[in-house]
Each structure stands twice: as structure tokens, then as C-alpha cells.
């Protein structure tokens, strides 16, 4: 490999960055940490100012959001992950609200410039092609639009298929680094999450095409699907929970109308097992986010079942999923892309699932959203709403009917107060409404 590529050091590579440049980092496990570290060394040396940094969620350190880099780096990412949350909430970093499907459009439509794309790829094959591995998402668009592309060649990056495969000719500079990819760690579902998983799994039909995010609730749902048949995957991301179902033949994509037999995703975050699974696996198609998250592409498959989470839901069905009051916690992500896509799918189901209370026992179902909270999924988009106490379908229901249905799956300790709030909001007729 080293004889075919002219490698330069990470410090030589980031020397190509100029003050005022816009930089894109590849996402999640593929964040190019060796370049990030070198870039921060230039920042420490006072060689740069007003460099804007864009990316989706990244795993690993994000030192460029620290207060000491004010005026040097300004993070303006498309999602607020745990590693940048403190900086965003303090104002030293920022967030661009955007549907995940449109993150690629920011570059392709010229809304955001991309001066330098910093990516990670696998070693080249005999034909001179490399793979973007776990991060296609908006990274492919960044590569297309960037003036300069710097690639970290890493033997630990899996050779994923689909639109992840790009020719070496699209890359300007190569850096070698064989640091293992950052794994994601998941806790086992607790009893509440398991109950939510069971309630969601009961809505999933044989032959469904699934989208779900990452974390305890998606894993709890997947753990309940061992007796299902002919499930497919068309999602923005998947993790370890799908692997046992693939091994059992439950997930085979047999009923999909597009990408039949393939698991379609745009980025991945999981253990080394996931990275090993997608390596050179033609069953997995890693695609541009403009394809995976296009609601009209999503809707082409039948029985699309999209399961997404929330931070708070009000009595009319407004879903806050990106902020805790005025404090940004995550982002829009693909929730609307898939909620809408699933609702357009023949036999599709769009599901919002969350625990009924916080870890401190505060109801996550509220009469009104907390002041400053953002509405990600509107009351017009929501269909199924699931907690550990059941599943209710809000589609086609009036405001008063919705309130009663939502309260029916609230924590019992909070139902009386929520019912009283609904009565005060809707008036005396509310108690006469039947569901």
C-alpha cells in the first residue's frame, strides 16, 4: 500500500488549511482524529483564525469546540452530539438546523462552501478505489464540492459497498494512520425500555422495512423481532442490534421493492462486530444521505416502519427531539425524513417512542412544551406514539381525542394532572369526548 501512495504527515496535510476556510469532517466512527489533532496544533500555534468546521455527529474528542479556540475554530455542525454539546450550549460552538436528507444539499447547492474535506478511507484495491467505510452521508457531497480533499488511509476502515466506493483520483493528499475506529458502547435495555421495545415490536409486521436510530430503545425493539419474517432495512444508520436478526434470516430484504435483499444505510456507529460485518459485504449498501433519507425514496418500499425517539411530547402531539428548553441537545437528524417517508409508504407506520418519565420521575408528556423547546415532528406529522404503557395512533384524531390518547399512555402518577390541564385548555366538552 505505502509503495503506491505518496503519503504526507498529518501536520503537512493540515498546512493546506487557510484562515477563513470551511472544513468538512467525515462522520461518526470515521472522524479523522489524526487530522483533527494536527489542526488543533496549528490553532495552538496561532496560525489560523475564523476556520469553520462542519460535520454530522462524530465519535471521539472534538477539541475544536473548546473555549480556548474562540476566534480560531467555529464549529457549525449539522447535529449536536455528546462530544460538542457543552460547547454548543456555552456558545463557543454552533448548530445548523437541517433535515438530514438536505445536509448534502448545503454543499451541492452552494449554500455552504467546502474548502477542505477531511475523510477516512480504507486502503485502495487493485483498481485504485477506496471506500468511505462507515460515513457516506454528506461526506460524498463534500468530496465532490471541496477544493482540497485530504484522506486518512486506515486499514481499520471497512471496505463498504454502494456509493461509499470512490476513485483515489478524487483525493489530493493522503495521510496514513491505523488507529482503530471509535466503537460505540450500548447498555442493555432496562425494564422500561424493554416494555417500549415490546410495544413497538407489536406494531411491526412481517415483511416490513425498518428504520430506527441508535441506543437502548432501538436495541430493545430489535431484541423482540426474533420470530418475525422477511424484514428489510432502509435507514440512516444501524448498529449491533441488527446482526443477530441477519444471522437468523429474519432480516433478508426479501419484500423490499427497491434495493431488494440489501441493507441500505448512510452511516454506521457500533462495535467492531458491525465494522467487520459491513467489510466487503455486498448485502450492505452505504449510500448518499440524499438517497437514504429522501421521503419519496423511503416510501417506495412497502410497510416502512420508522421508529424515532423524543425528549418531550405535548398533549396535541407536538414532538420535541432536539432541545431541552432553550438548550440544544441533539438535532433534527432524520426524524422528519423517515416519519414522512413511512407515512407515505404503502402500509407504513411512523412511530415516536419514548419513556413516559425522565430518570427523575418528571413526566415527558407535558400540557405544553417547555419554553424554548423546538418542534421537530409537528402535530401534523405524528402517527403512532409509544411509551412503556402502550401504543396509540394519533393520525386523524382531533386535538381533544389526541389529548385523551396521549394521557392514556402517560405515567399513572401524572395522568390526573395532565387530564386537568387538558380540561382547562379545551373546556367542559373535553370530558364528554370518547376514544
**Segment (H or E) for 35:** helix 33-44
Instruction: Report the distance separating Cα 424 and Cα 71, nearest Å.
Output: 50
- Concatenating the DSSP letter of every residue in 66-84 gives SGGGTTTEEEEESS--HHH
**Which residues, in sequence order, are bridge partners of residue 7?**
174
Using the Cα atoms of residue 268, residue 197, residue 374 and residue 73 in order, give the sign of their dihedral: negative
Note whether 56 and 29 are within 8 A (CB): no
Instruction: Report the distance separating Cα 393 and Cα 149, nearest Å.
Output: 47
Instruction: Report the distance separating Cα 179 and Cα 155, nearest Å.
Output: 8
Give me the count of residues in the chain. Answer: 435
**H helices within 167-271, ranges in order?**
191-201, 216-222, 243-247
Q: How many C-beta atoms surround the C-beta of residue 68 within 10 A?
A: 12
Instruction: Report the distance separating Cα 107 and Cα 248, nearest Å.
Output: 40
Using the Cα atoms of residue 156, residue 158, residue 163 and residue 169 in order, give the sign of their dihedral: positive
Note whether 356 and 391 are within 8 A (CB): no
Instruction: Report the distance separating Cα 120 and Cα 152, nearest Å.
Output: 5
User: What are the backbone angles phi and psi of residue 135, rounded to the nearest 5°?
Assistant: -140, 95
Nearest in space to 264 (alpha carbons), one of 182, 163, 157, 141: 163
**H helices within 238-327, ranges in order?**
243-247, 272-278, 289-292, 295-298
Note whether 249 and 271 are within 8 A (CB): no
Task: Please indicate whether residue 236 is annotated as part of the active site.
Answer: yes
CA–chain centroid gap for 185, Å, is 16
Residue in 236, 401, 416, 424 annotated catalytic: 236
Note whether 224 and 253 are within 8 A (CB): no
Nearest in space to 255 (alpha carbons), one of 234, 286, 280, 237: 234
Give catalytic residue positions. Answer: 236
Amino acid at each position: 500500500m505505502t509503495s503506491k501512495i505518496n503519503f504526507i504527515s498529518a501536520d503537512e496535510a493540515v498546512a493546506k488549511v487557510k484562515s477563513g476556510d470551511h472544513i468538512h469532517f467525515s462522520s461518526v466512527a470515521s472522524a479523522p482524529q489524526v487530522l483533527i489533532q494536527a489542526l488543533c496544533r496549528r490553532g495552538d500555534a496561532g496560525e489560523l483564525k475564523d476556520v469553520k468546521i462542519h460535520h454530522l455527529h462524530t465519535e471521539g474528542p472534538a477539541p475544536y469546540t473548546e473555549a480556548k479556540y474562540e476566534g480560531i475554530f467555529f464549529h457549525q455542525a449539522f447535529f449536536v452530539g455528546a462530544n460538542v454539546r457543552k460547547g454548543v450550549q456555552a456558545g463557543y460552538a454552533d448548530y445548523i438546523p437541517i433535515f438530514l436528507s438536505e445536509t448534502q444539499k448545503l454543499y451541492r447547492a452552494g449554500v455552504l462552501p467546502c474548502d477542505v474535506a477531511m475523510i477516512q478511507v480504507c486502503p485502495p484495491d487493485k483498481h485504485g478505489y477506496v471506500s468511505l467505510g462507515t460515513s457516506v452521508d454528506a461526506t460524498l457531497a463534500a468530496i465532490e464540492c471541496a477544493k482540497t480533499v485530504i484522506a486518512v488511509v486506515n486499514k481499520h476502515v471497512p471496505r463498504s459497498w454502494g456509493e461509499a466506493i470512490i476513485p483515489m483520483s478524487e483525493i489530493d493528499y493522503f495521510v496514513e494512520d491505523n488507529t482503530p475506529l471509535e466503537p460505540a458502547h450500548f447498555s442493555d435495555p432496562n425494564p422500561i425500555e424493554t416494555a417500549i421495545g415490546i410495544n413497538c415490536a407489536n406494531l411491526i409486521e412481517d415483511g416490513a422495512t425498518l428504520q430506527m436510530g441508535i441506543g437502548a430503545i432501538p436495541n430493545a425493539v430489535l431484541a423482540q423481532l426474533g420470530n418475525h419474517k422477511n424484514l428489510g432495512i432502509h435507514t440512516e444508520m444501524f448498529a449491533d442490534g441488527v446482526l443477530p436478526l441477519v444471522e437468523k434470516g429474519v432480516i433478508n430484504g426479501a419484500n423490499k421493492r427497491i434495493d431488494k435483499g440489501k441493507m441500505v444505510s448512510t452511516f454506521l456507529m457500533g462495535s467492531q462486530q458491525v465494522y467487520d460485518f459491513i467489510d466487503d459485504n455486498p448485502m450492505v449498501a452505504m449510500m448518499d444521505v440524499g438517497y437514504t433519507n429522501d421521503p419519496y425514496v423511503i416510501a417506495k418500499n412497502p410497510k416502512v416502519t420508522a421508529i424515532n425517539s423524543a425528549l418531550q411530547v405535548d398533549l396535541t402531539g407536538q414532538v420535541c427531539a432536539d432541545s431541552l428548553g432553550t438548550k440544544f441537545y441533539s438535532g433534527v437528524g432524520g426524524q422528519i425524513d423517515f416519519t414522512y417517508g413511512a407515512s407515505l409508504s404503502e402500509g407504513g407506520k411512523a412511530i415516536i417512542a419514548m419513556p413516559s418519565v425522565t430518570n427523575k420521575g418528571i413526566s415527558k408528556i407535558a400540557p405544553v412544551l417547555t419554553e424554548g423547546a423546538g418542534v421537530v415532528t409537528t402535530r401534523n406529522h405524528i402517527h403512532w406514539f409509544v411509551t412503556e404503557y402502550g401504543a396509540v395512533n394519533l393520525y386523524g384524531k382531533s386535538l381533544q381525542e389526541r389529548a385523551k390518547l396521549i394521557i392514556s399512555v402517560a405515567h399513572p402518577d401524572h395522568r390526573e394532572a395532565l387530564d386537568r390541564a387538558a380540561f382547562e385548555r379545551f373546556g367542559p366538552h373535553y370530558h364528554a369526548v370518547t376514544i
